[in-house]
């Protein structure tokens, strides 16, 4: 960095690109986004692919960097909505050997060997899919002109990666997992497992977490790898947490904000009611048959939403880990402002964690998808209702903030249901005021005509 902002130019195959480096003392202006793909072919066609929001992101003014918060691509691909079989994919599970494996009985699926033929099909597809995604128009321009930090979520491998109770232990998933991790490090971090610590200062027990500083150290971005060590009962290994907290002991005096980057939100409604229904379906065959008749309730492996609920911090399997993380966040927040940043859920919201004993408040900024279609207005209403029923623990309460005008996604109902949960595609732009140390956040929220420039919603987070 110099006393003035610099443009760094470089050339690849006679094509020139450039990116901006902020001056010393200048605020870093950066974008956060997630969910950069589709699971539905119909939605992709209706929304014009991922290009519209990427075009808008590049028209927001000069950016210095961006942060990809998970699902940078959808490795498991797209289901063709017009097909009667749920096995019609344009993704990882379209591979012939995986198609054959998925229709086998449970016991045979668990015992199927991950043969060299499986490895070849999966590896070749995954490499090709990364290349195809990263040369998508508009997105590839952003990758070439904006330095990027990334953290992965499930669809960077496959839906529910790490959260399946039994299939996590099958030989096919165990064989595919190192391939997905290898390519995640290669394409999203330009490194390998062996070089990650030296190249990117990554840390973790078996994962690849990061701590970055921007704004001359005024802002710390702590990103835990929530996939590499995940299973049905753990999100991040205790040893990895300890490494992260140890690094924060060396935090500079000038740091005013700690941004805790976790793909799946923490301050989010508990979906225990739906999970309870699935548990009944596990025990009672007639209930399972009824649920099986509802389109989209089941996928090839389990109830479609079960892995989503198991992904969430509020699932009862993760409550102890979640409470420990929240306690540590409030401890850090006593001297520096802690803010949680998430994506994953395809809704835009601001969650609020409040300590009864200290009065402290930690916000969880939740961004919608930059690519994928948001859920319906009915789900937004359901989430609003569930948020009133949720208490994190005896000291900490959770609520969704009434921050927004009532915006309704055009594919939903005519009337909107919530000014707490907004079901529109978006991304956010962050900039710290170096005089006041306030963090100014701009939510760029898609309009009904996705070709129009997004509506801007503003929020400010003050330092401690």
Q: What is the pLDDT of residues 375-395, one digit of tens each?
A: 877 777 777 666 665 668 899
Residue 88: per-residue pLDDT? 47
% of the chain surpassing 70 pLDDT: 84
Residue 409: per-residue pLDDT? 45
Average pLDDT over residues 179-192: 98
pLDDT digits (tens, 9 = 90+) for 248-305: 999 999 999 999 999 999 998 876 555 554 454 445 554 455 445 444 445 554 545 5
Residue 414: per-residue pLDDT? 45
Average pLDDT over residues 135-144: 97
Average pLDDT over residues 204-233: 97
Enter the pTM of the model: 0.90
pLDDT band at 421 (very low <50, low <70, confident <90, very high): confident
Q: Give the 3-state DSSP-derived string for the chain, with helices as H, strands as E and coil as C.
A: CCCCCEEEEEEECCEEEEEEECCCCCCCCEEEECCCCCCEHHHHHHHCCCHHHHHHHCCCCCCCEEEECCCCCCCCCCECCCCCCCCCECCHHHCHHHHHHHCCCHHHHHHCCCCHHHHHHHHHHHHHHHHHHHCCCCHHHHHHHCCEEECCCHHHCCCCCCCCCCHHHCHHHHHHHHHHHHHHHHHHHCCCCCCHHHHHCCECCCCCEEEEEEHHHCEEEEECCCCCCCECCECCCHHHHHHHHHHHCCCCCCCCEEEEECCCCCCCCCCHHHHHHHHHHHHCHHHHHHHHCCCCCECCCCECCHHHHHHCCCCHHHHHHHHHHHHHHHHHHCCCEEEEEECCCCCEEEEEEEECCCCCEEEEEECCCCCCCCCCHHHHHHHHHHHHCCECCCCEEEEECCCCCCCCCCCCCCCCCCCCCECCCEEEEEEECCCCCCEEEEEEECCCCCCCCCEEEEEEECCC
Average pLDDT over residues 201-227: 98
Residue 87: per-residue pLDDT? 44
139-148, 318-327, 443-452: which has the minimum mean pLDDT?
443-452
Residue 347: is its pLDDT beyond 90? no
Which architecture characterizes domain 6-270+312-461 according to CATH? 4-Layer Sandwich (3.60)
pLDDT band at 430 (very low <50, low <70, confident <90, very high): very high
Residue 400: per-residue pLDDT? 86
pLDDT band at 412 (very low <50, low <70, confident <90, very high): very low
31-35, 299-303, 403-407: which has the minimum mean pLDDT?
299-303
User: 205 vs 42, which has greater pLDDT?
Assistant: 205
23-37, 162-176, 303-317: which has the minimum mean pLDDT?
303-317
Q: Tell me the domain boundaries of the chain.
A: 6-270+312-461
Average pLDDT over residues 168-175: 96
- Mean pLDDT (the chain) is 87
């Amino acid at each position: 960095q110099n006393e003035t902002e610099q443009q760094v130019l470089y050339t690849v195959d006679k094509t020139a690109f450039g990116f901006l480096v902020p001056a010393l003392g200048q605020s870093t202006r950066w974008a956060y986004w997630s969910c950069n793909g589709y699971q539905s072919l119909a939605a992709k066609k209706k929304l014009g692919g991922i290009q519209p929001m990427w075009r808008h992101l590049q028209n927001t003014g000069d950016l210095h960097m961006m942060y990809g918060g998970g699902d940078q691509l959808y490795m498991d691909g797209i289901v063709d909505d017009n097909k009667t079989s749920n096995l019609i994919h344009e993704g990882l599970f379209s591979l012939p050997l995986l198609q054959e494996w998925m229709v086998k009985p449970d016991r045979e699926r668990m015992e199927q060997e991950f043969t060299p033929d499986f490895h070849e099909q999966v590896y070749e597809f995954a490499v090709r899919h990364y290349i195809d995604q990263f040369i998508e128009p508009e997105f590839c321009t952003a990758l070439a002109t904006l330095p990027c930090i990334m953290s992965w979520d499930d669809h960077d491998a496959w839906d529910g990666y790490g959260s399946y109770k039994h299939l996590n232990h099958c030989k096919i998933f165990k064989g595919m997992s190192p391939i997905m991790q290898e390519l995640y490090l290669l394409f999203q971090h330009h490194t390998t497992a062996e070089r990650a610590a030296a190249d990117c200062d990554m840390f973790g027990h078996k994962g690849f977490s990061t701590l970055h500083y921007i704004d001359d150290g005024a802002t710390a971005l702590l990103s835990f790898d929530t996939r590499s060590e995940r299973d049905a009962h753990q999100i991040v290994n205790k040893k990895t947490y300890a490494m992260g907290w140890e690094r924060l002991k060396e935090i500079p005096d000038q740091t005013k904000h700690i941004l805790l980057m976790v793909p799946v939100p923490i301050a989010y409604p508990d979906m225990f009611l739906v999970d309870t229904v699935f548990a009944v379906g596990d025990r009672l065959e007639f209930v399972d048959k009824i649920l099986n008749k509802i389109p989209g309730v089941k996928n090839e492996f389990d109830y479609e939403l079960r892995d989503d609920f198991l992904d969430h911090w509020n699932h009862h399997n993760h409550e102890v880990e979640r409470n420990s993380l929240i306690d540590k966040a409030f401890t850090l927040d006593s001297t520096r402002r802690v803010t949680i940043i998430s994506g994953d859920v395809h809704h835009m919201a601001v969650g609020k964690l409040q300590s009864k004993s200290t009065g402290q408040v930690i916000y969880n900024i939740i961004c919608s998808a930059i690519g994928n279609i948001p859920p319906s207005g009915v789900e937004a209403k359901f989430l609003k209702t569930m948020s009133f029923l949720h208490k994190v623990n005896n000291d900490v309460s959770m609520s969704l903030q009434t921050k927004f005008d009532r915006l309704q996604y055009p594919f939903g109902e005519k009337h909107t249901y919530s000014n707490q949960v907004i079901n529109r595609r978006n991304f956010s732009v962050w900039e710290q005021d170096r005089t006041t140390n306030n963090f100014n956040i701009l939510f760029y929220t898609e309009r009904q005509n996705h070709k129009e420039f997004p509506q801007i919603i503003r929020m400010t987070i003050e330092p401690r």
